[in-house]
Amino acid sequence: MTPLEMNLSYGLAWLSFGAGHSFLASARAKNLFEALLNPYYRITYNAIASVHIIAVWLIGNRVFEGTDSFKPPVEAGIALTSLSILGLILLAIALKRYDLGRLSGLSQIRNHKLGITEANPEPLHVDGLHAYIRHPIYLGAYLILWGNSQDLHGLTTAIWGTAYLYIGTIYEERYLTMTYGDAYRTYRDRVPSIIPWRGKAV
Protein backbone atom coordinates (compact mmCIF):
# COMPACT_ATOMS: atom_id res chain seq x y z
CA MET A 1 0.00 0.00 0.00
CA THR A 2 1.41 3.39 -1.01
CA PRO A 3 1.61 6.31 1.48
CA LEU A 4 -1.25 8.01 -0.39
CA GLU A 5 -3.41 4.90 -0.14
CA MET A 6 -2.60 4.53 3.56
CA ASN A 7 -3.59 8.13 4.30
CA LEU A 8 -6.75 7.90 2.21
CA SER A 9 -7.80 4.68 3.95
CA TYR A 10 -7.26 6.18 7.36
CA GLY A 11 -8.89 9.43 6.31
CA LEU A 12 -12.01 7.55 5.20
CA ALA A 13 -12.13 5.81 8.57
CA TRP A 14 -12.02 9.20 10.31
CA LEU A 15 -14.65 10.52 7.91
CA SER A 16 -16.94 7.63 8.85
CA PHE A 17 -16.51 8.52 12.52
CA GLY A 18 -17.18 12.21 11.92
CA ALA A 19 -20.26 11.51 9.83
CA GLY A 20 -21.61 8.92 12.26
CA HIS A 21 -20.97 11.10 15.30
CA SER A 22 -22.56 14.14 13.64
CA PHE A 23 -25.63 12.11 12.70
CA LEU A 24 -26.10 10.71 16.22
CA ALA A 25 -25.63 14.19 17.71
CA SER A 26 -28.17 15.81 15.38
CA ALA A 27 -31.50 16.94 16.83
CA ARG A 28 -33.47 14.57 14.58
CA ALA A 29 -31.44 11.49 15.58
CA LYS A 30 -31.41 12.52 19.23
CA ASN A 31 -35.20 12.88 19.34
CA LEU A 32 -35.64 9.56 17.57
CA PHE A 33 -33.25 7.53 19.72
CA GLU A 34 -34.26 9.21 22.97
CA ALA A 35 -37.84 8.15 22.27
CA LEU A 36 -36.69 4.57 21.61
CA LEU A 37 -34.06 4.22 24.33
CA ASN A 38 -35.35 6.65 26.97
CA PRO A 39 -32.77 6.87 29.81
CA TYR A 40 -30.40 4.53 27.97
CA TYR A 41 -29.90 6.98 25.08
CA ARG A 42 -26.80 8.75 26.45
CA ILE A 43 -24.93 5.63 27.51
CA THR A 44 -25.72 3.97 24.17
CA TYR A 45 -24.55 7.07 22.31
CA ASN A 46 -21.27 7.04 24.25
CA ALA A 47 -20.78 3.30 23.71
CA ILE A 48 -21.27 3.60 19.95
CA ALA A 49 -18.89 6.57 19.74
CA SER A 50 -16.26 4.76 21.85
CA VAL A 51 -16.39 1.56 19.80
CA HIS A 52 -16.27 3.55 16.56
CA ILE A 53 -13.23 5.68 17.50
CA ILE A 54 -11.38 2.59 18.78
CA ALA A 55 -12.14 0.86 15.47
CA VAL A 56 -10.80 3.90 13.57
CA TRP A 57 -7.58 3.86 15.60
CA LEU A 58 -7.16 0.10 15.05
CA ILE A 59 -7.64 0.59 11.30
CA GLY A 60 -4.89 3.21 11.35
CA ASN A 61 -2.65 0.97 13.42
CA ARG A 62 -3.14 -1.80 10.88
CA VAL A 63 -2.69 0.46 7.85
CA PHE A 64 0.56 1.99 9.13
CA GLU A 65 1.92 -1.22 10.63
CA GLY A 66 5.60 -1.63 9.81
CA THR A 67 6.13 1.96 8.63
CA ASP A 68 8.98 3.68 10.41
CA SER A 69 9.89 6.47 7.99
CA PHE A 70 8.97 9.12 10.56
CA LYS A 71 10.74 9.10 13.92
CA PRO A 72 11.46 12.27 15.95
CA PRO A 73 14.82 12.79 17.69
CA VAL A 74 15.02 11.67 21.32
CA GLU A 75 14.78 15.25 22.62
CA ALA A 76 11.72 15.93 20.48
CA GLY A 77 10.17 12.68 21.69
CA ILE A 78 10.57 13.77 25.31
CA ALA A 79 9.02 17.17 24.53
CA LEU A 80 6.09 15.54 22.73
CA THR A 81 5.51 13.09 25.58
CA SER A 82 5.49 16.03 28.02
CA LEU A 83 2.92 17.73 25.79
CA SER A 84 0.72 14.65 25.90
CA ILE A 85 0.99 14.45 29.71
CA LEU A 86 0.02 18.13 29.96
CA GLY A 87 -3.00 17.39 27.78
CA LEU A 88 -4.07 14.56 30.08
CA ILE A 89 -3.75 16.83 33.12
CA LEU A 90 -5.81 19.58 31.45
CA LEU A 91 -8.41 17.03 30.41
CA ALA A 92 -8.71 15.67 33.95
CA ILE A 93 -9.02 19.17 35.45
CA ALA A 94 -11.61 20.23 32.86
CA LEU A 95 -13.74 17.10 33.33
CA LYS A 96 -13.94 17.71 37.08
CA ARG A 97 -16.21 20.69 36.37
CA TYR A 98 -18.81 18.44 34.74
CA ASP A 99 -21.32 15.98 36.12
CA LEU A 100 -19.55 12.84 34.89
CA GLY A 101 -22.49 10.63 35.78
CA ARG A 102 -24.68 12.70 33.51
CA LEU A 103 -22.00 12.93 30.83
CA SER A 104 -21.61 9.14 30.78
CA GLY A 105 -25.33 8.43 30.89
CA LEU A 106 -25.30 6.58 34.22
CA SER A 107 -27.14 9.34 36.08
CA GLN A 108 -30.01 9.26 33.58
CA ILE A 109 -30.51 5.54 34.18
CA ARG A 110 -30.31 5.89 37.96
CA ASN A 111 -32.65 8.89 38.09
CA HIS A 112 -35.15 7.15 35.80
CA LYS A 113 -35.27 4.17 38.15
CA LEU A 114 -35.72 6.49 41.13
CA GLY A 115 -38.35 8.62 39.40
CA ILE A 116 -36.20 11.77 39.60
CA THR A 117 -36.65 14.48 36.96
CA GLU A 118 -33.29 15.93 35.90
CA ALA A 119 -32.58 19.61 35.51
CA ASN A 120 -31.98 20.32 31.86
CA PRO A 121 -29.60 21.55 30.62
CA GLU A 122 -26.52 21.37 32.85
CA PRO A 123 -25.47 24.85 34.06
CA LEU A 124 -23.12 26.84 31.81
CA HIS A 125 -19.57 26.47 33.11
CA VAL A 126 -17.63 29.74 33.21
CA ASP A 127 -15.25 29.17 36.12
CA GLY A 128 -12.04 27.15 36.55
CA LEU A 129 -10.32 26.56 33.22
CA HIS A 130 -13.45 27.87 31.51
CA ALA A 131 -12.55 31.34 32.77
CA TYR A 132 -9.54 31.23 30.44
CA ILE A 133 -10.83 29.29 27.41
CA ARG A 134 -14.25 28.07 26.31
CA HIS A 135 -13.14 24.56 25.34
CA PRO A 136 -10.47 23.22 27.73
CA ILE A 137 -11.43 19.62 26.92
CA TYR A 138 -10.68 20.23 23.26
CA LEU A 139 -7.35 21.86 24.15
CA GLY A 140 -6.43 18.80 26.20
CA ALA A 141 -7.37 16.56 23.28
CA TYR A 142 -5.24 18.63 20.87
CA LEU A 143 -2.22 18.35 23.16
CA ILE A 144 -2.68 14.58 23.54
CA LEU A 145 -3.04 14.10 19.78
CA TRP A 146 0.06 16.11 18.87
CA GLY A 147 2.03 14.78 21.83
CA ASN A 148 1.53 11.29 20.44
CA SER A 149 2.59 12.21 16.89
CA GLN A 150 5.85 10.33 17.30
CA ASP A 151 5.44 8.00 14.32
CA LEU A 152 3.56 8.08 11.04
CA HIS A 153 0.40 6.64 12.55
CA GLY A 154 0.49 9.14 15.42
CA LEU A 155 1.17 12.08 13.12
CA THR A 156 -1.65 11.14 10.77
CA THR A 157 -3.97 10.60 13.74
CA ALA A 158 -3.10 14.09 14.99
CA ILE A 159 -3.88 15.61 11.59
CA TRP A 160 -7.23 13.88 11.13
CA GLY A 161 -8.12 14.27 14.80
CA THR A 162 -7.41 17.99 14.64
CA ALA A 163 -9.65 18.35 11.60
CA TYR A 164 -12.42 16.48 13.42
CA LEU A 165 -12.07 18.60 16.58
CA TYR A 166 -12.03 21.83 14.60
CA ILE A 167 -15.29 20.94 12.85
CA GLY A 168 -16.71 19.63 16.12
CA THR A 169 -15.99 22.97 17.80
CA ILE A 170 -18.13 24.75 15.20
CA TYR A 171 -21.09 22.47 15.91
CA GLU A 172 -20.48 22.71 19.66
CA GLU A 173 -20.59 26.50 19.48
CA ARG A 174 -23.92 26.39 17.66
CA TYR A 175 -25.37 23.99 20.24
CA LEU A 176 -24.18 26.09 23.19
CA THR A 177 -25.56 29.28 21.63
CA MET A 178 -28.94 27.61 21.04
CA THR A 179 -28.99 26.15 24.56
CA TYR A 180 -27.80 29.11 26.65
CA GLY A 181 -28.66 32.05 24.38
CA ASP A 182 -27.41 35.49 25.42
CA ALA A 183 -25.55 34.11 28.43
CA TYR A 184 -23.31 32.10 26.11
CA ARG A 185 -22.98 34.94 23.58
CA THR A 186 -21.69 37.24 26.34
CA TYR A 187 -19.31 34.54 27.57
CA ARG A 188 -18.14 33.80 24.01
CA ASP A 189 -17.35 37.47 23.39
CA ARG A 190 -15.14 37.66 26.49
CA VAL A 191 -13.36 34.28 26.55
CA PRO A 192 -11.15 32.82 23.76
CA SER A 193 -12.03 29.45 22.26
CA ILE A 194 -8.85 27.38 22.61
CA ILE A 195 -5.78 29.60 23.22
CA PRO A 196 -5.87 31.47 26.58
CA TRP A 197 -4.35 34.63 25.15
CA ARG A 198 -6.48 36.98 27.29
CA GLY A 199 -5.59 35.38 30.61
CA LYS A 200 -8.47 34.99 33.05
CA ALA A 201 -11.36 36.62 31.20
CA VAL A 202 -14.28 36.06 33.61
Does 69 fall in a domain? yes
Q: What percent of the chain has pLDDT over 90?
A: 53
Does 82 fall in a domain? yes
Does 131 fall in a domain? yes
Does 200 fall in a domain? no
Number of domains in the chain: 1
- DSSP at 124: P
Does 155 fall in a domain? yes
Does the pLDDT value for residue 202 go beyond 80? no
Q: How many Å apart are CA 202 and CA 199, to the nearest integer?
A: 9
Q: What percent of the chain has pLDDT over 70?
A: 98
121: containing domain:
3-190
Does the pLDDT value for residue 92 go beyond 70? yes
Determine the pLDDT at residue 118: 73
One-letter amino acid at 59 equals I
Does 120 fall in a domain? yes
pLDDT (tens digit per residue) in 9-48: 999 999 999 998 888 888 788 888 888 888 899 899 999 9
Q: Judge residue 84's burial from the number of C-beta atoms within 10 Å of its C-beta, 0-12 exposed, 13-18 middle, 19 or more buried.
A: buried
Q: Which residues contact 8 (CB under 8 A, 6 or more apart)?
A: none
Does the pLDDT value for residue 70 go beyond 80? no
Determine the pLDDT at residue 117: 77
- Comparing CA positions, the residue from 41, 61, 48 lying closest to residue 20 is 48
Does 201 fall in a domain? no
Q: Which residues contact 135 (CB under 8 A, 6 or more apart)?
A: 169, 172, 193, 194
Does 195 fall in a domain? no
